[in-house]
Every structure is written in C-alpha cells, then in structure tokens.
Amino acid sequence: MTTVVSPAAKVRVQQRKWALIRLASPIVLLALWQLGSAVGLIPQDVLPAPSLIAQAGVELIQNGQLVEALRVSGVRVVEGLLLGGLLGVALGTAVGLSRWLEATVDPPMQMVRALPHLGLIPLFILWFGIGELPKVLLVALGVSFPLYLNSFSAIRQVDPKLFETAQVLGFSFWQRFRTIIVPSAAPQVLVGLRQSLAIAWLTLIVAEQINADSGIGFLINNARDFLRIDIIIFGLIVYALLGISTDAIVRALERRALRYRS
Amino acid sequence: MTVTSERQLTMAAELRHVDKWYGERKVLDDVSLTVGKGEVVALIGRSGSGKSTVLRVLSGLSADHTGERSVSGAPALAFQEPRLFPWRDVRTNVGYGLTRIQLPKSEVRARADRALADVELADRADAWPLTLSGGQAQRVSLARALVAEPELLLLDEPFGALDALTRLSMRALLLDLWREHGFGVLLVTHDVDEAVALADRVLVLEEGRVVHTLVVDDARRPLSDPSANTERYRAELLERLGVQL
C-alpha cells in the first residue's frame, strides 16, 4: 500500500528538511567542540569548552560586571552614533539640497573620508587624552561618512516630478521636506545607518582595546592579563550579539519605511 | 449658441498674447485663449507643439513668459501619470488637494472622503497608492485635483497611459463630475476622438501657435446619436493636424 502525497506537500517537506539541516549544522559543530574538549583533543588553555565559556558568562552576569560593561560601551556607541549620525545626515541633506554647499562642503568631506579613521587613534589620544571623549569622537567620525554619503545620494534621487506636483498643490518648504524628501530618502538613509552601526561597533572594539578602564573591551583586556580565555571569547560573543541585534532593529525600521510597497 | 456666449462672459482662464522661450527656441508664439466657466476646451497638437507648455503657463508652473495670464482661483492640474505620494494612503493623497485652504483635519478628511466617493473609490481610502490599478490611481489623482472645488481643471493627457476600455469609462466619469460641479476644463490631448467627444471647442496648436479653432455645436452628444457630426469634426481636425487619410 502506498500513501498519496500531493506535490505541494512534498515541496513543504523538502523545505522543512533543509531548514532542519541548516539549524542542526551549528548545533552539531558546538557538540563536536564540547566532545573534543571532554576527551582532551582540544587543549583547554587554548580553546575552552563551550560549557566553560557559558559558565564565564554566568559569572560575569552574576557579579554585575557584564551589565556595567554593557552600559559603558552602550553609552559610547549611542553618543558616537548620535553625534556622527546627526552630523552625517544633516550635512548629506544640506549638500543634497544645495548645489552651492555641494561645491564647497563635499570636496573636503571626500578628502577626510579618504583617511582611515582608526589610524587617527594616536592623534586623538594626543588631542583628547584617554577618557571617553576620544572614543566617542572616533565612533562619531566613523559613523558620519556612510550616513553622509547615503543621505546625499538619497536626496539627489528624489523624483523631481513629485516636487513639481508639490508646487502645483502649493506645499511649503517644510511640507515638501516632510512629505517628499523624508519618506523618499528614508530607505537609503537606513541602509547607511546599517553600514554605520557595523562601523560603530568595530570602532568601539578597537578603541576599547587600546585604552579603557571600563566597558566590554576593558573586560576582555583585563581577562587577557589573568589568562581567562573563556572570558575573552564570551566578550567577543557579546560584541557579535550586539552587532546582530542592532542590525535587526534597523532592518525592522527598513521594513516599516517600505511598508507601502507591499 | 446663446449658452456659449453667456458662459464666456465669465472666464475660468485667459491667456493673451503669451510668448515663451526655452533658451533660443520660441515654444509659444502669441498664444491667446479663453476657457469659460463650465466650458470644456481641448488643446490638440503633435508632440512638441507646445501643448504642455500652455498648461504649465496656466497652472503657474512656468512663470517666465510674456503676455497676460488670468486664472480664476487656484487652478487644479492632473498629470498624465497619477503622481501620487506612494508612502501616504489614498485619503491623505486626496487631502493634499486642500493644501492651499486652511482647514481643520477632520474637515480635510471629510472632503477627501467625499471626493473619493465622487470617483467611486470610497472603499479604497485606506489603501496604499501602489496597490491601485492604473485607472484607479488616475481617479485618485482626479479626486485630488477636484477636492478643492476649483473653477479651472487643467488636464495633461490624463487618460493617455490607460487602456482603451478604462479610458472610455474615465471620459464618462469626467463628464459626470463636470456636470455636477461645473468647473471649466482645459484638456491637453493628442487624441482627436477624445477632443471631439468631450470638448465645446477644440484648439489646434502647431509650433507654439493656435492655428485653428473648432466649435463643436453638438458637444458631448452620445456616439450612438446619428445626428452627431463626429465624423466631420474628426476629419477637420485630422486635416489641420496634417494627417493624410
């Protein structure tokens, strides 16, 4: 006796199979890592077992160090992102709207953009010391360019026919800005924001390696002095999770900004 | 004929001796025309004859012309494409037609809904413009143009991008709205049949000059009416446009 399966059901079963395999792959890898550690194949002073890394995480959560480090690093990123982001969007918008500003502001912006911003760390230490200011400014500098470039090009791509329509309808400048420029530019500015967030976390990691007495980078550096490889790896995982979750937030914003296309 | 002359006592729009240059090229050459209140005037011509420029001058989009322009109230303009704001729902788009009039939000909403009901789209008020068909979007554009109850409606080949069947129902809809609200219409088109079917008068534009005026005596008579002179008007216009049959 044979069971009759419809083609659609067959496709669904196939899709579920591949989804399961994709999910299983990292879990199997993790299990192999744990097994290799248990039988002594992986030396624990080089790469600790996943269970030990998880324990290190629990330890940091329980003694409050993780929360404190997250708060400090979070404030640095948020401040840098706000400062650099607002500057980048404001300059990109202004340059996009005015030929005059494009001719005067864009060339120096492109020149500064050519400098690798992480290479400025020695200069920033000399200028601003080793406190919070150079870290925030470095994040701000890295963040501002993707948002500047994307805002600039987003504004140049707004459909001129919509401006003509706005003229016929009698829109004020403010109405044109709100009703045409912002919604039309939003998707591309959000792409810029995603690039900026990636740069913000990367900049923070580098800046926190060099001189910090608090934050996630400090946690990692401190762990190095005590040979706590488990804490170092846990810290790296925290950085990765922060990057993924902020990216997910911006993607959700993108979907909202584009919901009219559905 | 008395009806026509009565209408022309009060103008919805008038151009007198208008010249316009684009750089070295003269695009309008001594154009004079009138649109009476409640009159439908069609402006017909080949591509590049200056039809759209006449509309741009009348709507106030092009200011740098010589001669006189007078328009009663703020003219409404509907383009060949609907030109809706895709990120605002249909009702909000129609409400933008009231930008020049300061009204409370609830009143804007109520008037937008009424205008949408006029074009038989009351049920799509909350929809996104991109979910509409071409004809529906053009009806929304018409509702946006008419929501402020203008005395002059300027139409720039408004049905040109629609399929033949939709175009016919849009013409009927336009005439219904026109009978109800009595605005003057200047319709720019390159479709001779459309001009004859809708207009009281048809102006033929050639190289920026009005070269011929056709008065349609039995304007808007149904095509099925055997006494309609449709064929004669059609032949006259095509000849003026230089089309050999």
Q: What is the pLDDT of residues B112-144, one digit of tens each?
A: 999 999 899 999 999 999 999 989 999 999 999
Amino acid letter, A169: L
A175–B99 CB contact, under 8 Å: yes
Q: What is the pLDDT of residue A101?
A: 95
Q: What is the pLDDT of residue A130?
A: 85
Q: Which residues of A touch B (CB under 8 A)?
A: 161-162, 164-165, 167-171, 175, 179-180, 183-184, 259-262
Determine the straight-line distance between the first and last CA of chain A, rounded to whole angstroms: 46
Question: How many Cβ atoms sit within 10 Å of the Cβ of residue A69?
Answer: 23
**Confidence band (pLDDT; 50, 70, 90) for B227?**
low
Percent of chain B scored above 90 by pLDDT? 44
Percent of chain B scored above 70 by pLDDT? 93
Segment A154-160 mean pLDDT = 93
Q: Helix (H, G, I), strand (E, B), or coil: what is residue B152? A: strand
What is the C-alpha to C-alpha distance for residues A245 and A249, in angstroms, rounded to an integer? 6
Into which CATH architecture does domain A52-261 fall? Orthogonal Bundle (1.10)
Of the partner residues B61, B99, B100, the one whose CB lies closest to the CB of residue A164: B61
Amino acid letter, B159: F
Q: What is the pLDDT of residue A2?
A: 60
A262 has a pLDDT exceeding 60: yes
**Confidence band (pLDDT; 50, 70, 90) for B6?**
very low
Q: What is the pLDDT of residue A49?
A: 93
Q: What is the pLDDT of residue A51?
A: 93
A260 contacts in chain B (CB < 8 Å): 86-87, 128-130
CATH number among 3.40.50.300, 3.90.1150.10, 2.30.140.10, 1.20.1250.20, domain B1-75+153-245: 3.40.50.300
B127 contacts in chain A (CB < 8 Å): none
Block residue for tokens 């200056």: B50
CB within 8 Å of B198: residues ≥ 6 apart: B40, B42, B171, B174, B175, B185, B187, B220
Q: What is the pLDDT of residue B83?
A: 93
Q: What is the pLDDT of residues A33-46, one digit of tens each?
A: 999 999 999 998 88
Q: What is the pLDDT of residues A206-256, one digit of tens each?
A: 888 877 788 999 999 899 899 899 999 999 999 999 999 999 999 999 999
CB within 8 Å of B136: residues ≥ 6 apart: B121, B124
Q: What is the pLDDT of residue B33?
A: 92
Q: B223 CA to chain A: closest CA distance, Å? A: 35
Segment A43-50 mean pLDDT = 91
- The domain segmentation of chain B, as residue ranges, is 1-75+153-245, 82-149
Which DSSP string do the residues of B8-56 spell out, in sequence order? HTSEEEEEEEEEEEETTEEEEEEEEEEEETT-EEEEEE-TTSSHHHHHH
Q: What is the pLDDT of residue B5?
A: 40
Per the confidence metrics, is the pTM higher than 0.95? no
Segment A49-77 mean pLDDT = 93
**Confidence band (pLDDT; 50, 70, 90) for B40?**
very high
B85–A179 CB contact, under 8 Å: yes
The ipTM value here is 0.84
Q: What is the pLDDT of residue B223?
A: 63
- The domain segmentation of chain A, as residue ranges, is 52-261
**Running DSSP on this structure, what letter comes out for residue B75?**
P
B161 touches chain A (CB under 8 A): no
Q: What is the pLDDT of residues B54-86, one digit of tens each?
A: 999 999 888 888 988 888 888 899 998 999 999
B48 touches chain A (CB under 8 A): no
Characterize the bridge pairing of strands B209-215 and B66-71: unpaired
A168–B59 CB contact, under 8 Å: yes
Q: What is the pLDDT of residue A79?
A: 96
What is the C-alpha to C-alpha distance for residues B131 and A259, in angstroms, rounded to an integer? 12
B81 contacts in chain A (CB < 8 Å): 161
Percent of chain A scored above 70 by pLDDT? 98
Mean pLDDT of chain A, nearest integer: 92
B1 has a pLDDT exceeding 80: no
Q: What is the pLDDT of residues B177-226, one digit of tens each?
A: 999 988 999 999 988 888 988 999 999 999 888 888 888 887 777 666 66
